[in-house]
Amino acid sequence: MPIFLLPLAGMAAIVAGASGQMDYPKSNAAVELGEHCANIDPSKERSCISARIENKESLLAQAFVRARAVVAQGYALYGHSDVRTDPKYLDESQAAWKSYVDANCTVVAALGGGSNSAISDREGACYEKELDLRIAFLREVEDESSR
């Protein structure tokens, strides 16, 4: 399983100075990695997928930092009305998500049996799917919280 993300404390520094419209950069690597991992040598395919996952991990880290900044701003304004808006809950959610994905994708991958590489491939596919879902969730948190 790939290493998930940078520590939360380190990511907070990235947010400093962020304001206005949120922008999600798409690197050329992300575009190039889209569909080009199919129908190639299995070793090259795994390397390609690995690079795509690394890119998505970076997007996840950026989305988390942005979502947390927006949640923290909302808490500063309205937290006295409802402490459940405290960004510490988003931090806890992110940590719990990481634990869940690690355990769940291990189980999902192992259920099919097969060779080590087949299990690893299924684990990577599960992890990539979960990355996509979490990125979408964090972007939704950011969008909803900034309204």
pLDDT tens, N- to C-terminus, the chain (147 residues):
443 333 333 333 333 333 333 344 444 444 344 556 777 788 888 899 999 999 999 999 999 999 999 999 999 998 888 888 899 999 999 999 999 999 999 999 999 889 999 999 999 999 999 999 999 999 999 998 656
The structure's pTM equals 0.73
**Looking at the 3D structure of the chain, how many domains does it have?**
1
Q: Which pairs with CB-CB distance under 8 Å and at least 24 residues apart come from 71-78?
A: 71/141, 71/145, 73/145, 74/145
**What is the C-alpha to C-alpha distance for residues 104 and 102, in angstroms, rounded to an integer?**
6
CATH of the domain at 56: 1.20.1270
Domain presence at residue 119:
yes
Domain presence at residue 1:
no
Domain presence at residue 21:
no
Domain presence at residue 116:
yes
Range of the structural domain that residue 106 is part of: 27-145
